[in-house]
Structure 1
Amino acid sequence: MTDYFKEALEYKDELIEKRRALHQIPETGLDLPKTKAYVKGELEGLGLEVKEYGTSGLSTLIQGEKGEGRCIMIRADMDALPMNEESGLPFASTGNTAHTCGHDLHSSIALTAAKALLKEKANFKGTVKFMFQPAEEIFAGSKMMIENGVLENPQVDRALALHTALDRETGSICYNEGYFATSSDNFKITIKCKGGHGAYPHTTIDPIHVAVNIYTNFLELIARECPPQETSTLTFGMLSAGSNSNIIPDLAEMQGTLRAYSPEVRNKLKSRMLEIIEGLKISTKAEIDLDFFTGVPSLYSDPEFTREIVGYLKNSDFDGELIPDTKIMASEDMALVAEKVPTAYFSVNCKLPGNNFSHHNPGVNFDENMMPIGLGLMLTAVVNWLNNN
């Protein structure tokens, strides 16, 4: 077995250079013109043909020279977040968007993997497909690229993805055989009522009273209807109503998120939320609309495929720690790929000492020393799986 983790260290300067270039052009959503141009330019500079999907989705293929075989896909998300950066880094972004989730590191790893695999193509059979996707943060990029055929021509047999992790300092890789990340269902509730004078509540239909009932009933679903052995959360992040102390308003709005690992629990809780709304419409006489406006399923890391990749890692030159049974409450639109193709998902720790911020925080920073580990992971997994399958 080639020492791919040792080989990955030779690309460290290049990994850092690519990451910092991407870090300074953060873009959000589906349309990433600067990021797409950079990634496409890097791939075409290697002599690769790039196929576009939608506005900013990109894919390319590398064919092994040891013979025909199967197809494995590496996914990298490219989008950033709509926030200012306060990291103090000399290459920090200066606008109102920032790479505070580490997607710039993911894309740098995938771009460098393409270069390394081109040099290695005499040593493996089959095909490596790359999926560079926008809009992971809004759960739209994978869906768009799947609908446009990224899993076809050639048909993808297995898929791989990784993510930065901030639980430990650099040197470990985390995985789980089964559900790795929760589903996510973001919802908005609009309550239309009859406002009036605060001194005469009996002449009104109070949307704040309705909102409080919804809040209480929804949270009780987790406490009383979710099986205790199942993990789920329901959080309200926005409640807006009224303008003055003695005016009962006509309107209230609420927004929140529901998360669960089990698809059965997810479906049950969503169904019960709708039932509660229908009951409150009758009991309060309010007009209530519940809209699940974005959602992704829980991310399933196929146990058999994950075990196989972990076996290759254990037999490789990786000298760090492999941490099993890792699950996160965040969500990932790689879950949509995993619904269609057996997928192995990993998180690579990269906490910097002294930087105690989380993902999505304006002050967060990531240890760039994780990138050779991520690259070694991808090379080890791809070459060994293709040659053994």
Structure 2
Amino acid sequence: MTPATEEKTTSTAEGFADAAESLRDSLIAIRRELHSAVEIGLDLPRTQGILLRELADLDLEVTRGEGLTSITAVLRGGRPGPVVLLRGDMDGLPIAEATGLPFAATSGAMHACGHDLHMAGLLGAARLLAARRDELAGTVVFMFQPGEEGQAGGRIMIEEGVLDAAGDRPVAAYALHVDSATSSGRLVTREGAMMASASALRMTLHGTGGHAAFPQLGIDPVPVAAQLILATQTFAARRLPATDQAVISITRLSSDSEASNVLAASVFLEANIRTLSMTTLDTVRDELPTMLAGIAEANGCRLETEFIASYPVTYNDPAETREVLSVLDGLVGVERVTRLAAPSMASEDFSYVLQEVPGALVFVGAAPDSGPMPLHSEHAVFDDGVLPLQATVLAELAWRRLARGEA
């Protein structure tokens, strides 16, 4: 970087921060409107309507999704250059809110994972960058995505062409995720695996059923299911290397018996599987069902299994992440940027984008003054005073990456 370029970039950062601060009240108001209007899944018409209203005066190329209520908005800068993608997710969770906030949702759904802040922060970045489009050396794609909470909306948007919306594919992609358990304004990321993959193994264990007074006359699958549960819990400890572990949890368990004196004929189980590499995921997928089927057979039962692959590992490109960390250090100071020592075992469908485009996901601390709060809780509260910082970080990451060009 030449001294002239460094001076220009520094002044840009200061300009975005000042402009973002002037948007504070409007961004908070939009966030709270989105919070109250929360919807879940892939079909979010009310949420989409609010976002379209806010984007209308920015002179962007706006398209809507076909299989979901997504929005793709393209900002073309006044100078030639590559394409960068910025993403914000839109959906809430099926949780009845219990925060007592004046703008709390009352529909039985809730933005308990902060996606309302993600949308408002991305809107802020769009405003900041649109205001300086003549200086912008390239194109920015704003990806507003429904269905992050389990419906793979990111994958659907990729199938519908979001990565080709600007004509050329992005050279980088960035997203922020607020965290109500991290102190407000702290920025957190890491190189490599950032969040885990998420998969499931569904199992149906077949016995014969019978009278509870005469278990010797049938094959009771319930105690066999207990063996499967214990074997599942020990699989990771004995079949996987300590340096590349998985978290495997039995999350569902039920039988077809509807009376206390009837032995079950079948038992249904489901395991949730979290891994940090494709190698480990392949091992679990290939070896765990085989081991469990052998235990079932040894006890006279038959096991049917179905492996359901969900979100891949969220992988931060090391080179891009080093650049991101440099930008974050310059924006807020090294003392407010955390290099995460280990990945989170939660999952994110921004992982689909990062499989196709190098980039990074960054956590933004948004714990309220009352103290840290867990995500996905009916009591989750976020400090929406971090919205100017979110908008600044997204705008600055896009600006700096475009200034670097294709390389």
TM-score (ref. length: structure 1): 0.95
- The 5 Å alignment of 1:138-287 reads 138-152=150-164, 153-241=167-255, 242-287=257-302
Contact 1:5/1:317 (<8 A) preserved:
no
Residue 299 in 1 paired to residue 314 in 2?
yes
Residue 368 in 1 paired to residue 384 in 2?
yes
Q: 1:288 to 1:206 in 2, by over 3 A?
A: same
Aligned-residue offset at 1:373: 1.4
Q: 1:89 to 1:313 in 2, by over 3 A?
A: same
Residue matched to 1:336:
352
Give me the whole-angstrom Cα distance separating, in 1, the residues matched to 2:168 and 2:267.
50
Aligned-residue offset at 1:325: 2.4
Residue matched to 2:366:
350
Give me the whole-angstrom Cα distance separating, in 2, the residues matched to 1:192 and 1:343.
46
> Which of 36, 39, 42 pairs up with 1:24?
36
Give me the whole-angstrom Cα distance separating, in 2, the residues matched to 1:273 and 1:41.
50
Contact 1:43/1:49 (<8 A) preserved:
no
Residue matched to 2:71:
58
Q: CA offsets, 1:251-310, max 9 Å, x none?
A: 211122110112211211121122123313432343322223351111000010011122
Give me the whole-angstrom Cα distance separating, in 1, the residues matched to 2:187 and 2:152.
27
Contact 1:83/1:97 (<8 A) preserved:
yes
Give me the whole-angstrom Cα distance separating, in 1, the residues matched to 2:52 and 2:218.
59
Give me the whole-angstrom Cα distance separating, in 2, the residues matched to 1:353 and 1:52.
37
Question: Which has the higher mean CA deviation after the structures are superposed, 319-328 or 112-121?
Answer: 319-328
Question: Which has the higher mean CA deviation after the structures are superposed, 200-209 or 29-38?
Answer: 200-209
Give me the whole-angstrom Cα distance separating, in 1, the residues matched to 2:179 and 2:207.
45
Give me the whole-angstrom Cα distance separating, in 1, the residues matched to 2:204 and 2:344.
30
Q: Report the residue type matching 2:141 in the other structure.
A: K
Unaligned runs of 5+ in 2: 1-9
Residue matched to 2:5:
none
User: How high is the sequence identity, in percent, across the aligned residues?
Assistant: 31
Aligned length: 388
Unaligned runs of 5+ in 1: none
Residue 96 in 1 paired to residue 108 in 2?
yes
Residue matched to 1:107:
119
- RMSD of aligned residue pairs (Cα, Å): 1.7
Q: 1:190 to 1:262 in 2, by over 3 A?
A: same
Give me the whole-angstrom Cα distance separating, in 2, the residues matched to 1:7 and 1:256.
48
Residue matched to 1:134:
146
Give me the whole-angstrom Cα distance separating, in 1, the residues matched to 2:123 and 2:241.
43
Q: Secondary structure at the match of 1:218?
A: helix
Q: Report the residue type matching 2:25 in the other structure.
A: D
Q: CA offsets, 1:188-207, max 9 Å, x none?
A: 22223211111221222222
Residue 41 in 1 paired to residue 49 in 2?
no
TM-score (ref. length: structure 2): 0.91
Give me the whole-angstrom Cα distance separating, in 2, the residues matched to 1:254 and 1:317.
47
Q: CA offsets, 1:185-240, max 9 Å, x none?
A: 12322223211111221222222122112111111111211211224211112211
Q: Secondary structure at the match of 2:327?
A: helix
Residue 124 in 1 paired to residue 136 in 2?
yes
Aligned-residue offset at 1:318: 5.4
Give me the whole-angstrom Cα distance separating, in 2, the residues matched to 1:193 and 1:132.
48
